[in-house]
Amino acid sequence: MGPGHMDPTRAAQAASLLGARVAIPIHWGTYYPIHLGVQGQPGFLKTPPALFEQAVLEHAPATAVKVLAPGEQTAV
- For residue 65, what are the β-bridge partners? 23
Q: What is the pLDDT of residue 27?
A: 73
3-state secondary structure of 36: helix
Distance of CA 76 to the CA centre of its chain: 16
Nearest 10 degrees: CA dihedral of 14, 17, 21, 24? -10
- For residue 23, what are the β-bridge partners? 65
pLDDT at 3 over 90: no
Domain ranges of the chain: 1-21+41-70
pLDDT per position as a tens digit, 8-57? 899 999 999 999 999 998 877 666 666 666 566 666 667 888 999 999 99
